[in-house]
Structure 1
Amino acid sequence: METIARNLALWRAGRGEFFSRLGIPFPGWGQIGLSLDGPRLECAEEVLSRYRIPYTVQGGPTVSETPLWKTASSALEASSLGYPPEETAHILSQPWIAPEGFPLSDSLRRGPQGEKGWREYLETHGDKRVLSFFNGMTAFVSVIEGGGSPSRLLRALRDLAGTDGHSGPGLSLSRFIIDYPPLDETARRLNAALKELEQKMEQMSEMESGIGPAGSEVLQGNDAVAFLSAWSERSTIWQPPKTRDSLNIYVENPPVLARHRVFLVTGLTAEAWPGRLQESPLLGDRHKEAIHNDPNTALSPSHLPLLREKRIQREALLLRMIASADEVCIGSRPNQDSSGRPLQPSGFIASALSRTPPWIVETGSDPPFSRSMKDVIPGDEDPSIEGIEARTSDPPRSPARLSMIPPPTPWPEGLPKRVQASGIDTWKECPFRFYAGRVLGMERSRPWGFDPARAGNVAHALWDKVWGERMATGEKLTDLAQSHWERAVIDHYPELVQFPRHLGRLKEQTLRMASLQQEMDDEGLAEARVNQKREQLIEMETDGVLFRGKFDRIDLLSDGSALLFDYKTGRGDNLNNSLQLPAYALMLQSASDIEVSGYAYLSQADLSITGRLDGLAGEALPGWRKSSRTGLKEMVSRARETVMAMAKAVMESSFPPNYSNVNVCRYCEYQDLCRRKESVGAAPAEDDGNVD
C-alpha cells in the first residue's frame, strides 16, 4: 500500500514509476479507483492520509471497526480477566469516555484490580463521568451474562455508549477534539455507529413483536456475544458525501457498474485469488457429480457447485474487477506475508494474458516494478516527497510532537538524582537492567529456600565484627571468625539453620577466607597498615548526580595510601574488569585526597583475590600481586568515564536495554519489560551468588 500511495503522489507531480511506465498524464483523483480487502482499509487510510491523497470510501467501514464495538468487546474481555489494571485503565482512558482526562499513570502505578477495586479507585481518583461509564460497563457485562432478547442486548450496548439521555459524551468530546483534529474522523465514526445502532433497535423491536414466541428468545453468554459481534461485522456506518476529485476506495468488490479511467487492484496473490478452495468434507465433488447425474434426485434446477466451478467464479470476479478500468488497470501484490514467507502471484493474471483473444494486455515495460524493504527510504538519486519522505543522507528530523512524549525510562517523580555506585557494573552491562533494579527497585520474587543475599549479609556483618576486635586486641582472624559465627547467623539470617547443607558450606568458606586474610596480614599487610575503616559511606557529585558508595573495608597504609577491599560470597571469575572498587577509589580520592594504592575483591566461593595492587600495597602483598594489561590508574580512569556517562544517563533519564549482551540477557529477570524475550529465546535464570 505504501508503494501505491507513493507512486500515485509522484504521478501527480509528473514523476515516479506510474508516470514513466504508463506514459499518460495524471488523470485526476476522481478518475482513479482502488480495490482492497476489508482488513487493510485502516492501513490504507493511514497511508493515504500521510501522503495527503484525498479519498472517499465507498460502502464505509463496519461497526466492528469503530470505537463502539471495540470498547464493548474490550469490556467483555476485561471482565473475563477480572478487570486487570492495565487493560481496564486503557479502556477508561479513551477520549470519548474521559474527554476531561484520565489519571492513566496513577492508575497503572496503584494497580486497582477487580470490580470492587476499580470502583473504589474511581470514587477517589476519577471524575463522575468515568465512574458512571465503569458502572455502565459492568452493567453491560451483567446483561450479556444474564441474557436477554436481541433488542435487550442492543439496548445494553446503547446504554454502554452513554446515549441514554443524561451521560452522553457528545459536547465534551467535541470540545476535546478541537485541539486534536486527527480524532475528528474517529468521533464521526463513533456517532455514525450509534445512529446505526438506534436504527437496528427500532427494526428489531418491530420484528420481535411480529414473529411471535421466537421474538422473546433469550440469548446469553457466548450466544449474546456472537449476536452482537455478527451485527457489528455486517453493519456498515454512514459515510459522508463524496468530496470532489478524490480517490475512490472500494472495500472488497466494486459495484458492477463501477468505471474509472485507472483502476488499481491490490492483493493479487494466489492466497487471495483464487484463495484456499477445498472440497466439502461431507460431500465431495465426486458425490456431487453423482447426484447431478442421477435422474431420481429431482435436483433440477438446483445445482451443487463443484470445486472447479468455484475457481471459475473467482476468476470471473477478478476479470470483472479488472474490466472496471477504461484505460489502465494496475495490479499489485505483496512479495511476502507478515512472517516474511514469500507469496506467489495469482495464476489468474497469466491466464488472462494467455487467452485468445487476451483479456488483458501488458503495458508499462518489463519486468514489473518491484520495491523491497531496503528501498523504503529513497536514495540520493531517487525522487522524494518533501515533508513526507527523507533520503538516507538527509539530516535527522525531530518532530515537535516528540517533545510531548515522555521518555521510555522516566526518572521517578520526586526521587533525588542519586545512585548507588555499587551498580556501576550493572549499568555498564545493561542500562535498562540498572534502571529496573537499582532505580525502580523492582526485585525478582524468590521462592522459599536459601537466599544468597541474606547469606551475604551474614558474611559482611561477621567481617565487620571480626576485624573490629582484631584491630583492638590483635587476635587471630580464624579464632575470631569461629567464635562469632553463630551470633552472626542468629542476628542476620536465623532461617539459615533450616538449610544445613548451605549452612555448612557457607561456614566452611568463611573460615577459609579468615585463614586467607590472616595469611595476608602475616605476610606484611599488618605491618604496612596504620589504621582501618569499615562500612564507611562516601559520596561524590558528578554533573548534578550524587553517587554514593559503602566500603566494606579500607586499610590505611603507612605511606598515606589506601587499600580497598570488598567481600563477595560468590566466585571471582568475572571480577577482573569490575569497576565497582575503581569507582570507590575515584570517590575516595575526590572526597579526601587519599591516594589509592590498590583494591581487591575477596571471593569466598573459590577463595580468590581479584584486583590491582601498586605501590606499598603491592609490596605488602607480593604473593598476590599479579600482572595485568590494565593497571590501577587505567581502571580508575575507566571508572571516571563510566561515572560521567551514568550521570548523563540519569540527567537525560535514558536507560536503553543492551540487547547485544547475550550473557547478561540470558539470565536477566527483566526480559518481559525490555521486550527482548519477544524476539530472542532465553534460558531460565540462575543466581551467581554474588552480593555487593
Structure 2
Amino acid sequence: MTLHLKGYRTLDDLASLLRGEEEETLFILPSMAERRGLETFVKTTPWSWRRLCDEIFRAADRPERTIVDAIDRWLLLRGLEEADGLSGAFLVPLGDDIRELIRQEVSPERFARALGCRESCGACTRSDSEGRLCRLYGSYGRTLRERALIDGAALEAEAASVLARSGRAFLERWGRKTFSFVGFLSLTHGQLSLLRRLQALDVTIELFHPLTGLEGYPDAAGQLADLRSSGTEADGPPSRVHRLLGGDDRLEATLLCRELALWSSGEGAFADRPFPGWGGITVVSGTATVEEALRRYRIPYVSRRRRAMAEGTIWKILRDLLERGRDGWPFDETLLLLSSPLLAGDLPSAVDIRRPQGLEAWRESLGDGSRGRLCLEAAASLAESVGRGTTATALLAETVRFLGETLAAPERMARLVGDDIELDEEARSVNGTLKELTRRLDLVRSGDDRPEWSRMELSGENGRTFLDLVAQESSLLPPLPLREALSLYDDNLPVLERAEVVVLLGTDHRRWPGKSGEGPFLSDRLRSTLHDEGDLGPLHLPTASDRRLAREGLFRRLLASAPDVFLCRALQDDSGRPLEETPLLAPALDSGWAVEGATAELPLSRLVLSVREPYVEAVEILDEPWSRPREGPVACLSAPPSVPLSGLDRFRRCPFLYARQDLASADGDLFDSAQIGSFLHGLWQRAWEVEGPLERSTAALFDEVLAAGGELASRLTDFPRMRGQLAERLRALARRLDGEEGSLATRRRSMEREWTLPPLNIGGVTFRGRCDRADSLDDGALLLFDYKLGSSSGYEKALQLAAYGLALREAGRSVAGYVYACHGDGRLVGALAEGHRGTVRLDRGIRKDLDSALEEARSALGALAEAVLAGRFPPDYDSKACPGCPYGSLCRRDELRREGKDDDD
C-alpha cells in the first residue's frame, strides 16, 4: 500500500493537513512530550514508539523480555570481564556509544568488521579506545542473548523482526487503522526498518514530516525515498525574525525580559505589534540566567523542560554529603551542609567554638541525641558504604532509608513550606526524588527480571557513578501548570509546540552550530567506514559535517516554529571578546525561509537607563536628570573583584607592568600581539575539528582564518616576510603536536576547547580563566594546553596554567598536568603529575613536580589578590622584564638610573 508523505513548514500548515484525520487513525509521536502539542490539532490518545512495539509483541504472543535501560546497561557493562580496570565514569560515554550503535542496527559483528578485526567478535586485540569498545560491545551483545534481554535502543528493530515472522496477527487486530507518524524530522535505522515492514503488510501509513528548506537535507521523506509513496507539501508564510542583542550573557536575558515587560504595556521595540499574552510566548534557553531574570521582572512562567532528579535540592544535599565524607568532613563545607533546614538547621554553639575537623571532632561538637548528630551518623554510614563497596540494591535501599527515614525529608519539607507557595515546587521535588528512588529500588529487587547484576558489588568511585547515573536518568514531575504563563523549555523545543512567539537565547556561533568534535570511541573515520559498508544514512552515526548539517536543519525548524521568532544573543563573552551571530541565520534569510524583523540592543554602556526611556518600575535603575546636583562619591559595599588568571605571570614580573597592561588600555603596536594571538587561537580551534594531521589542516586553514581577521590580514599583506615567518612557526608547532598525538590519543577520552574554568576565590578576589584546550584522560584527569606566541624559554617557570590547574583542583577535579605549546620555537614545556609523565614528551624536561607548581601559583595569586584589593602596584626595578618595557618613563625607572649615574660621576 502507498506511503503518504505530507510535508509542512509551519504548525498552521500541519493543522490543515491533519484536519479530519481523527477517525480510524493511530497517531505515533517522536516522544510523549509532543502529546500536549498534538491535542491542539486533534482530540485523540496518541501512541509512542514503545506502545507501538508493545502492541506488535502482544499480537505475536511473544513472551515478555526485560528491557535494559541506561542504568541497567551500565551495570551490565560494569560486570563484564572486559571492563576490569576501567573506571565507572569511563563506562558512561562508552554505554552511550553502544546505545547509538544498537539504535542504528550496527551489530557487534559488523562493528568488528569495520575495525578490520580478524578474530571473532569480542576477541579484538587492539589496545586503543576503539578496540575496547569492540570487545565490550561484543561481550555485551552475547550477554543480552544469553539472558534473553533486550536493550531499549533495539525495540523498533526487534518489533520489525517480529512483524516479519508474525505480521498477520498484528494485521488482523490493527490492519484497518491508518498509522500516522507525526513530527519526524528524521528516523533512526531501527524506526525505518519498522516502517518498511509495516508497509510490506499493506498497512496505510501517513508520515507528516517538517520541512527545512535545505536542498538535499536527509530528512524522513528522503530516508524513505525508495518506498512507493505519494507526496503533499504545505508551505506557509515565512516567520519574522527579531534580534535582541545584550552586552553579555546576563544582559541578554535582562534585555529579553525588559522588552517583554514593556511590550505587555504597549511600550518598547515591539509596541507596534499586538502583544500575544504570556500564554502565547515560549522561551527556549539552556541556562538558569533567564529564570532569574523572569523572576526579577515578575513575568509569570512555567518550566516545561525535563528536570532530572540530580537537579533537585535534596539530591544535591545527598551528593555533597558523600563528597564531605570522602574529604574527611572539613569544617566550612560540613557546617554549611548541616545548617540546611532539611538537615539540622541550627547547630550547637560548641561547633562555632571548636571548629571541628574530621568525623570524631564533629561527633563531639554536635553532642549525643541531637538532630545534627543523627544526620551526621547516617551520612557517615552511607559514605562509608559507598567507599567500602556494596551492591546496587543495598546502595539504593540505604539511600532511600537515609532520605525517607533518617532525614524524614518529605515531612520536614512540608513543615518548612507552611503557607509559602513559592516552596511548593521544592516540596514536590523532595517527594518526587524519594518516590523515584523507591521505584528504582523496587525495579532492581524484582527478582528474576534483573538477576545478579543488581547484586554486583560497587565500591568507591563506582558506587558514586551509579548514584549519579540514577539521578541523571530519573526525571521529576514537571511543575504544576499555570494559566496565562510563559512556557520555558531547555535546549529542545517539542516539535508540535504551538506559540505566537518563540524566543531562542544564545544564538551566537558558540551554540549554532556549536562545536562538533569527535567522541572518545566512535571516531569520524570509523563512522565513515560503517557508512560505506552498510545502508546507513548521513544522520545515522553522523560525522562532524553531518552533525553540523543536522544542527542547521534543527535551526531552520526553530525559525519556523512561530509567526514571530526572537533571536537573543550576547555581544561579547566573559572575557570581553566579541561574539558573532550564528552563521546559520544569513542563508535562512537569503533563501526566504525567514524575513527580517525589529532589533533591540542593550549594551554594557546602558546598564543605567536614561530618564527619557520607558522603564520597568521597581526593577530598573534610572540615571539622574542632568539638572540635579550630583553628590560626591560614596563608599559602598560591592561584589568581590573578578580578575583573569591569564595576567598572573606579568604580575610576578612587575606589578606596575601588570597594572598598565591588564588594568588599563595601552596603545597598540604595528603588530598587536593580542590580534595575532586571537588569530592563532581561532585557527587551532578550527584545526582540531578537522580529521587528519594537524600540519596539513593548519596549513589549509591559514588563509581562510586570516581572511576573517580584518585589520591583521591587511597588515600582513604588506609584510610578506612576517606572514611567512608566522606560517612557518605554526607549521613547526603543528608538526611537534602531531608527533605527540599517537600516544596521547590512546589515553584521551574527550577534548574541550575554549573551556571556561570554575571560579577560584583567593583572598577575597575571584579569579576566572578560559583554557585553550583541556583533554580528559581515561582515568578522569585533565591535561591542560595553552598556545603561546613566544618561545618556550619564556614559559618554563610560568604559572598561568598552574593557576588553571589550581582552580580545577579546588573544584574537585583531578589534574594530570599542563603544557605550553610555543609557536616561537615549536616546543612544549610544562609540568606533569606522577603517573602521567609519559603522556606528553616535554622538550625542556619537567620544571618541577605538579604539586609544587600549583602551590607556587597559590602563593602568587595571594599576592595578586592583596594588590588588587589595595589598588597598589609598585614597580619592581629589579625585574627581568625591565629591559624593553615601554613604561620606563611612567614608573620613573629611567630617572633613578640617571640619578645613580650622576652620583657615580
TM-score, normalised relative to structure 1? 0.52
Q: Find the counterpart in structure 2 of residue 212 from structure 1.
A: 451
**C-alpha root-mean-square deviation of aligned residues, in Å?**
3.6
Deviation at 1:268, TM superposition (A): 0.7
How far apart are the structure 1 equivalents of 2:451 and 2:414?
43
Q: Over residues 587-637 of structure 1, what are the superposed CA-to-partner deviations in whole Å (9 max), with x where a residue is unaligned?
A: xxxxxxxxxxxxxxxxxxxxxxxxxxxxxxxxxxxxxxxxxxxxxxxxxxx
Q: Over residues 550-607 of structure 1, what are the superposed CA-to-partner deviations in whole Å (9 max), with x where a residue is unaligned?
A: xxxxxxxxxxxxxxxxxxxxxxxxxxxxxxxxxxxxxxxxxxxxxxxxxxxxxxxxxx
2:279 to 6, 21, 30: 30
How far apart are the structure 1 equivalents of 2:860 and 2:514?
45
Query: Is 1:187 the counterpart of 2:427 in the alignment?
Result: yes
Structure 2 matches for 1:118-517, cutoff 5 A?
118-123=362-367, 128-161=370-403, 163-164=404-405, 167-178=407-418, 182-206=422-446, 209-279=448-518, 285=524, 288-289=527-528, 292-293=531-532, 297-298=533-534, 303-325=540-562, 327-355=563-591, 358-364=592-598, 368-393=599-624
Q: 1:193 to 1:286 in 2, by over 3 A?
A: closer
Deviation at 1:147, TM superposition (A): 1.9
Q: 1:153 to 1:311 in 2, by over 3 A?
A: same
Query: 2:361 corresponds to which letter in structure 1?
Result: G
Query: 1:112 corresponds to which letter in structure 2?
Result: P
Q: Contact 1:265/1:331 (CA < 8 Å) preserved in 2?
A: yes
Q: Over residues 512-561 of structure 1, what are the superposed CA-to-partner deviations in whole Å (9 max), with x where a residue is unaligned?
A: xxxxxxxxxxxxxxxxxxxxxxxxxxxxxxxxxxxxxxxxxxxxxxxxxx
How far apart are the structure 1 equivalents of 2:568 and 2:600?
9
Q: Contact 1:33/1:262 (CA < 8 Å) preserved in 2?
A: yes
Q: 1:680 to 1:224 in 2, by over 3 A?
A: farther
The aligned length equals: 395
Question: What are the ranges of 5 or more consecutive residues in structure 1 without an aligned counterpart?
Answer: 396-404, 409-666, 685-692
> Higher relative contact order by CA 8 Å / sep ≥ 6: 1 or 2?
2
Deviation at 1:30, TM superposition (A): 0.6
Query: 2:619 corresponds to which letter in structure 1?
Result: I
How far apart are the structure 1 equivalents of 2:595 and 2:867?
50
Q: Contact 2:350/2:365 (CA < 8 Å) preserved in 1?
A: no
Q: Find the counterpart in structure 2 of residue 439 from structure 1.
A: none
Query: Is 1:16 the counterpart of 2:268 in the alignment?
Result: yes
Deviation at 1:670, TM superposition (A): 8.9
Q: 1:306 to 1:669 in 2, by over 3 A?
A: closer
Q: Over residues 266-290 of structure 1, what are the superposed CA-to-partner deviations in whole Å (9 max), with x where a residue is unaligned?
A: 1112111111113567776566556
Q: 1:375 to 1:89 in 2, by over 3 A?
A: same
Deviation at 1:304, TM superposition (A): 4.2
How far apart are the structure 1 equivalents of 2:309 and 2:526?
41
Q: Find the counterpart in structure 2 of residue 88 from structure 1.
A: 334
How far apart are the structure 1 equivalents of 2:489 and 2:312?
18
How far apart are the structure 1 equivalents of 2:382 and 2:566?
47
Q: Contact 1:265/1:322 (CA < 8 Å) preserved in 2?
A: no
Query: Is 1:65 the counterpart of 2:307 in the alignment?
Result: no
Deviation at 1:342, TM superposition (A): 2.6
Q: Contact 2:867/2:873 (CA < 8 Å) preserved in 1?
A: no
Q: Contact 1:193/1:237 (CA < 8 Å) preserved in 2?
A: yes
How far apart are the structure 2 equivalents of 1:84 and 1:95?
20
Deviation at 1:174, TM superposition (A): 3.2
Deviation at 1:109, TM superposition (A): 4.5
Query: Is 1:75 the counterpart of 2:295 in the alignment?
Result: no
Q: 1:215 to 1:98 in 2, by over 3 A?
A: closer
Secondary structure of 1:362 counterpart: strand
1:102 to 326, 347, 351: 347
How far apart are the structure 1 equivalents of 2:523 and 2:439?
42
Q: Contact 2:338/2:344 (CA < 8 Å) preserved in 1?
A: yes
Q: Contact 1:32/1:247 (CA < 8 Å) preserved in 2?
A: yes
Deviation at 1:336, TM superposition (A): 2.3
Query: 2:318 corresponds to which letter in structure 1?
Result: A
Q: Find the counterpart in structure 1 of residue 14 from structure 2.
A: none
Q: 1:320 to 1:225 in 2, by over 3 A?
A: same
How far apart are the structure 1 equivalents of 2:870 and 2:304?
39
Secondary structure of 1:198 counterpart: helix
Query: 2:600 corresponds to which letter in structure 1?
Result: F
Deviation at 1:260, TM superposition (A): 0.3
Q: Contact 1:85/1:108 (CA < 8 Å) preserved in 2?
A: no
Report which of the two structures shows the higher radius of gyration computed on alpha carbons.
Answer: 1
Secondary structure of 1:333 counterpart: strand
Q: Find the counterpart in structure 2 of residue 627 from structure 1.
A: none
How far apart are the structure 2 equivalents of 1:109 and 1:675?
32
Q: Contact 2:610/2:623 (CA < 8 Å) preserved in 1?
A: yes
Secondary structure of 1:17 counterpart: coil
Q: 1:225 to 1:376 in 2, by over 3 A?
A: same
Q: Contact 1:89/1:108 (CA < 8 Å) preserved in 2?
A: no
Amino-acid identity (%): 30
Deviation at 1:256, TM superposition (A): 1.4
Q: Contact 1:85/1:107 (CA < 8 Å) preserved in 2?
A: no
Deviation at 1:229, TM superposition (A): 1.1
Query: 1:102 corresponds to which letter in structure 2?
Result: L
How far apart are the structure 2 equivalents of 1:673 and 1:110?
29
Q: Over residues 40-65 of structure 1, what are the superposed CA-to-partner deviations in whole Å (9 max), with x where a residue is unaligned?
A: 13x32222112111111113422212
Query: 2:616 corresponds to which letter in structure 1?
Result: I
TM-score, normalised relative to structure 2? 0.40
Q: Contact 2:347/2:366 (CA < 8 Å) preserved in 1?
A: no
Q: 1:280 to 1:212 in 2, by over 3 A?
A: closer
Deviation at 1:389, TM superposition (A): 2.0
How far apart are the structure 2 equivalents of 1:675 and 1:187?
46
How far apart are the structure 2 equivalents of 1:75 and 1:683?
47
- 222-231 vs 383-392, which deviates more? 383-392
Q: Contact 2:608/2:621 (CA < 8 Å) preserved in 1?
A: yes
Question: What are the ranges of 5 or more consecutive residues in structure 2 without an aligned counterpart?
Answer: 1-252, 629-636, 641-858, 877-905
Q: Find the counterpart in structure 1 of residue 298 from structure 2.
A: 52
Q: Over residues 250-274 of structure 1, what are the superposed CA-to-partner deviations in whole Å (9 max), with x where a residue is unaligned?
A: 1120111111011101111211111
Deviation at 1:386, TM superposition (A): 1.4
Deviation at 1:202, TM superposition (A): 2.1
Q: Over residues 636-669 of structure 1, what are the superposed CA-to-partner deviations in whole Å (9 max), with x where a residue is unaligned?
A: xxxxxxxxxxxxxxxxxxxxxxxxxxxxxxx999
Q: 1:339 to 1:198 in 2, by over 3 A?
A: farther
Structure 2 matches for 1:451-600, cutoff 5 A?
none
Q: Find the counterpart in structure 2 of residue 112 from structure 1.
A: 356
Deviation at 1:242, TM superposition (A): 1.2
Secondary structure of 1:199 counterpart: helix
Deviation at 1:152, TM superposition (A): 2.0
Q: Contact 2:530/2:536 (CA < 8 Å) preserved in 1?
A: no
How far apart are the structure 1 equivalents of 2:484 and 2:363?
51
Q: Over residues 5-42 of structure 1, what are the superposed CA-to-partner deviations in whole Å (9 max), with x where a residue is unaligned?
A: 111111111112232xxx211110111101011xx13x
Q: 1:115 to 1:182 in 2, by over 3 A?
A: same
Q: Contact 2:308/2:476 (CA < 8 Å) preserved in 1?
A: yes
